[in-house]
Structure 1
Amino acid sequence: MILNSYERMVARRYLLPGKGEGFIFLVASISLVAVALGVAALIIVMSVMNGFRAELFDKITGLNGHAIVQGYEGRLPDWQQIAVKARSLPGVTSATPLIEQPLMASANGRVEGVLVRGMRMEDFQTNPVISKNVKAGDLRLVTPDSGRVAIGSRLAQALGAYPGSTISLISPEGRSTVVGTVPRIVSYTVAAVFEVGIYDYDNSFVIMPMQDAQNLLLMGDTVSTVELQTTNPDRVDTILAPLQPLVQGKGALIDWKQMNSALFDALEIERVAMFVVLSLIVLVAVFNILSSLIMLVRAKTRDIAILRTMGASRKGMMKVFVTVGVTIGSLGIILGLILGSIFLFFRQGMLNAIQYLTGQNLWDPSVRFLSDLPSKTDPFEVTAIVVTALVLSFLATLYPAWKAASTDPVQVLRYE
């Protein structure tokens, strides 16, 4: 929409308050702020939701892979054959043997349920989710037959353990005696404490070398799971389909979608619902633009009539008021982008400040899974939000602009 010089002058004049137009200017300013808040809220919430999903996905698949082959009854015979076959498939980047078993741990008179994970030393020392999140101790000390383990940070707090402490793992698979099976209790030294940022993992994981886990659980040379990583998580079922016949009868092939389907489906539903609800803020702001323009048209009826008698066209008057409304919406969108960017940059500090002032834990990791407030801004979503706000702002200007263009100068100036 191209404006000539006089149309630009009139539009610029109508954007600024004239004599007795303070209330109209106030309503227009409220409209601008409302658009800014709506755009900022949408960007912030969508970015946090995207960040939450991406962070959760990266950490879950970083520890559990894109898929697992889980043996029946916790035993996976011929796991070497399965791993070799999996590595030969196009799209599979790794096949890692694991042992996972829920046990009990005790230390300092405290007892907690834990998830013991046995991994090859080279696997857990090179796994970035673990190796890059060591908070205390040295992960390199966790070696086979050393009697050392690494534990999650929240488990360490619950047990009162730290690097150098001794914890006991209690396994129901023990010695058989005349009075029954005696639980197997083995003591280990804590060599490292890690924090991956997912509450359930930090609260339960005990990492130890594969050989130590096999000895603890009396598993011999077997494992319970083979973890698989692929080049494309979204096509994991297609990539691993040729592995299904080999796994049949020995275990179950489970991908990340099946393992976490309820969680990620709930996140997607919540994401869509939040977008719809927060879009109402922008819609309310657009109605404010509509009302402010209607009041402006009524206040400028005499000016419009004079301009019409001086040769201004109906189309020109429409362009003037459309420009005024779209300018208010555009300024609100720009302000919203700035506010959203500032909040996302300082999000954790702001969250901590709000929690301090209110005394409430707004981001409880036991409920939210993650320890910190994540963020991942999608440029396509931001573009969609901006375009939606612009289109709604434009639509809100059409009726007032039409009313202005349809003003009859003869009727308005008859008694002047």
Structure 2
Amino acid sequence: MILNRYERIIAKRYLLPGKGEGERFIFLVSMISLGAVALGVAALIIVMSVMNGFRAELFEKTAGLNGHAILTGYDGRITGWQQVAAAAAKVPGVTSALPLIEQPLMASANGRVEGVLVRGMRVQDITGNPVLTGGVKSGSLSNLKPGCNCVAIGTRLAAQLGTFPGAEISLISPEGRDTPIGTVPRIVSYTVAATFEVGVYDYDNAFVIMPMEEAQTYMMLGDAVSNIELKVTDPDKVDRQMPALRQIIAGRGEATDWRGMNAAIFEALEVERVAMFVVLSLIILVAVFNILSSLIMLVRAKTRDIAILRTMGASRKGMMKVFVTVGTTIGTLGILLGLILGAVFLFFRQPLVNAIQWLTGQNLWDPSVRFLSELPSKTDPVEVTVIVLTAFVLSFLSTLYPAWKAASTDPVQVLRYE
């Protein structure tokens, strides 16, 4: 919107507080409107970034440990897995097919017993997994070798069992050997070689990693495995590979993608994300009504000035441009302030959470409830653009009625008794 010189002067004059008490009150209402727009924009950016961060972090952790799809054998056993993995790796879009053994068991140490999820992996797959290698807290994954009789465990599981690298834990399987007095659980002791933390509470509290050969021996699988983990080039389009993968495992097991493995979590996040966007957009809508009310008050306060300007040759279009500019300027300044507030909050989000926890004495970020150990964030430029455009368009629309009222002012009626 292009304003000529006198229109710019008038718009600037109406944006700044005047000397009268009424004008100062209108300016205060305008500043409240600006602040409300800023808070609405900041709240939307912060919440959407945190929700995106939740999804990205959960996906990174779960996919890093479980892959984008998985082939599971019936009865937890895939014999001849080498041929199945080779066939799966040839499916277009599949980048890797890795064998796994996974079994829920019990672990005991220092008189404590915890439920665990034991995972057997090839040594090269353990050391080549960035989620595991990047999360080592003590010990070394290089100690995990066939025949070492050792395991790596999550940090929270280590804390629950009171164990550490070099100590021993016992794995207990209910599928033991038959004896004259019944089935005796199979109990084998292993040395803890390392502890790791991937940042997902359920994994850090339950995972036990061991070389595949050790797992096959303990679970008496021979050369079989229980799962084959697959990764694809585009995880969001993994459904394209699923028909071929189901055909490969047909009659021997089933194929599941990452959506099916984590459907409840990701669907809940998506629903909550949409709901939060709609609810927080109401803050901007309320701020827009504040802009509307402040402009209406400004038009009423400046009716005589508008009439004089009209008699001096100001056009209706010019008056509309002045008040549209005033309203959109308030909205634009609020948007810019909201962007700054959102960026500052996201940058210092974890220190702020820690400070609030320290002040209140409450654990606001319990990882057992929220899965992740830190507040995540991932800002999507497209979403930020949508938020900014939404706020700007609503601010612009709120100026049209007051601007039209100002342009409709009849100088004859206003100045008749002046």
TM-score (norm 1): 0.99
Q: Is it true that 1:149 corresponds to 2:154 in the alignment?
A: no
Displacement of 1:96 in angstroms is: 0.4
Q: Distance in 1 between matches of 2:240 and 2:296?
A: 58
Per-residue deviation, residues 79-127 of structure 1 (Å, max 9, x unmatched): 1111010111211111000000000001111100000000000001110
Is 1:273 the equivalent of 2:279? no
Q: Map residues 56-95 of structure 1 onto 2, 5 A cutoff.
A: 56-95=58-97
Which residue in the other structure is 1:97 paired with? 99
Whether the 8 Å CA contact 1:86–1:240 is kept in 2: the answer is no
Give CA deviations for 1:25-49 in whole Å, capped at 9, x if unaligned: 1100000000000000000000000
Query: Alpha-carbon deviation of 1:58?
Result: 1.1
- CA shift for structure 1 position 148: 1.4
| Paired residue type of 1:269 | V
Matches within 5 A, 1:312-391: 312-391=314-393
**Preserved CA contact (<8 Å) 2:242 2:257:** no
- Larger CA deviation: 225-234 vs 385-394: 225-234
Task: Give, in whole Å, the separation in 2 of the partners of 1:119 and 1:243.
Answer: 21
Give 1:234 shift. 2.0
Determine the structure 2 residue equivalent to 1:203. 205
C-alpha distance in 2, partners of 1:222/1:15?
A: 76
User: Gapped runs of 5+ residues in structure 1?
Assistant: none
8 Å Cα contact 2:79/2:223 also seen in 1: no
Query: What is the CA deviation profile of residues 337-369 of structure 1, one whole-angstrom value per residue up to 9, with x for unaligned ones?
Result: 000000000111111111121222222111111
Q: CA deviation at 1:143?
A: 1.2
Q: Report the Cα offset of residue 246 of structure 1.
A: 2.8
In the alignment, residue 276 of structure 2 is paired with which amino acid? Answer: M
- Which residue of structure 2 lines up, in the alignment, with residue 15 of structure 1? 15
CA distance in 1, matches of 2:412, 2:245: 84
Q: CA deviation at 1:239?
A: 1.8
Q: In the alignment, which of 108, 113, 134 is matched to residue 136 of structure 2?
A: 134
Could you say which residue in structure 2 is the equivalent of 1:220? 222
Q: Aligned AA for 2:264?
A: A
Q: Does the Cα contact within 8 Å between 2:41 and 2:284 map onto a contact in 1?
A: yes
Distance in 2 of aligned mates of 1:415 and 1:361: 68
Secondary structure of the residue aligned to 2:115 is: strand
Q: Do the aligned residues in 2 keep the contact of 1:89 with 1:240 (CA within 8 Å)?
A: no
Deviations 1:215-244 (A, max 9, x none): 111111111000011111122222242232
- Separation of aligned partners in 2, 1:332 and 1:243: 52
Contact 1:50 1:377 (8 Å CA) reproduced: yes
Partners of 2:33 and 2:394 lie apart in 1 by: 13
The residue correspondences of 1:174-253 to structure 2 (distance < 5 A) are: 174-253=176-255
Determine the C-alpha separation between the residues in 1 that align with 2:240 and 2:415. 76
Task: Indicate conservation of the 8 Å contact 1:48/1:373, yes or no.
Answer: yes
Residues 173 and 218 in structure 1, CA contact (< 8 A), matched pair in contact too: no
2:43 pairs with 1:47? no
State the aligned residue count. 416
Report the counterpart of residue 298 of structure 1 in structure 2.
Answer: 300
Counterpart for residue 414 of structure 2: 412
Which amino acid counterpart does residue 366 of structure 1 have in structure 2? Answer: S
Moved over 6 A (4+): none
Distance 1:350 1:320 in 2: 42
1:3 equivalent to 2:3? Answer yes
Q: Distance in 1 between matches of 2:322 and 2:358?
A: 49
Q: Distance in 2 between matches of 1:399 and 1:109?
A: 75
What secondary structure sits across from 1:43 in the alignment? helix
Residue 168 of structure 1 and its aligned partner are, at CA, apart by 0.7
Helix, strand or coil: the match of 1:17? Answer: coil
Letter aligned with residue 180 of structure 1? G
Q: Does 1:158 pair with 2:188?
A: no
Contact 2:78 2:227 in 1 (8 A): yes
Q: C-alpha distance in 1, partners of 2:366/2:277?
A: 23
8 Å CA contact 1:118, 1:209 repeated in 2: yes
Any idea what SS the aligned residue of 2:391 has?
helix
TM-score, normalised via structure 2 length: 0.98
